[in-house]
């Protein structure tokens, strides 16, 4: 599968070949700065979320937690917001990410996701029969 890469390429293989322009199946955010995390405005990632595509955030590419408590709380809030939008956080451990496209194919063939699989919000809806 092809993924648009934002930031640095993850050190671990996440199962994607990276591209710099459409078409792509998912977006991988390999790294973010404090500013980018607090004021998330990565247009390709937001557009992908709006289209139901997978957006994966590689957590080792995030800056270390700040010692300033107020800033740390803001960072935690920003992470929660991204998760609420459907961004999947991954440390690169090999867990298969099920996209909406894969979920549709699985549903047609009567297959279920394997153990440890991570489903995008839309893929979960598809497999639960909501779409």
Q: pLDDT means per 10 residues in the chain (131 residues)?
A: 92 87 92 96 93 90 94 96 90 78 86 73 84 54
Where are the alpha helices (H) located in 7-99, listed in sequence order? 34-38, 43-50, 69-85
- Residue 117 has a pLDDT of 75
- Residue 94 has a pLDDT of 63
23 preceded by a cis bond (ω within 30 of 0): yes
- Residue 66 has a pLDDT of 92
- Residue 102 has a pLDDT of 86
- Residue 95 has a pLDDT of 67
Where are the alpha helices (H) located in the chain, listed in sequence order? 34-38, 43-50, 69-85, 100-109, 121-127
Residue 97's DSSP bridge partners are 118
pTM: 0.74
- Residue 29 has a pLDDT of 96
- In this structure, the strands spanning 54-58 and 88-90 are parallel
- Residue 14 has a pLDDT of 81
Report the C-alpha gap between 53 and 41 in whole angstroms.
17
Report the C-alpha gap between 96 and 107 in whole angstroms.
16
End-to-end CA distance of the chain: 23
Which residues have CB under 8 Å from 52's CB, separation 6+?
Answer: 100, 120, 122
């Amino acid at each position: 599968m092809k993924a648009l890469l934002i930031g640095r390429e993850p050190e671990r293989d996440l199962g994607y070949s990276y591209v710099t322009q459409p078409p792509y199946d998912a977006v991988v955010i390999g790294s973010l700065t404090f500013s980018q995390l607090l004021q998330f405005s990565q247009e390709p990632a937001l557009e992908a979320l709006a289209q139901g595509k997978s957006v994966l955030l590689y957590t080792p590419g995030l800056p270390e937690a700040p010692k300033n408590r107020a800033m740390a709380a803001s960072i935690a809030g920003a992470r929660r917001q991204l998760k609420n939008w459907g961004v999947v956080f991954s440390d690169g451990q090999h867990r298969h990410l099920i996209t909406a496209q894969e979920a549709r194919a699985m549903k047609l063939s009567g297959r279920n996701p394997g153990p440890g699989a991570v489903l995008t919000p839309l893929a979960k809806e598809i497999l639960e029969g909501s779409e």
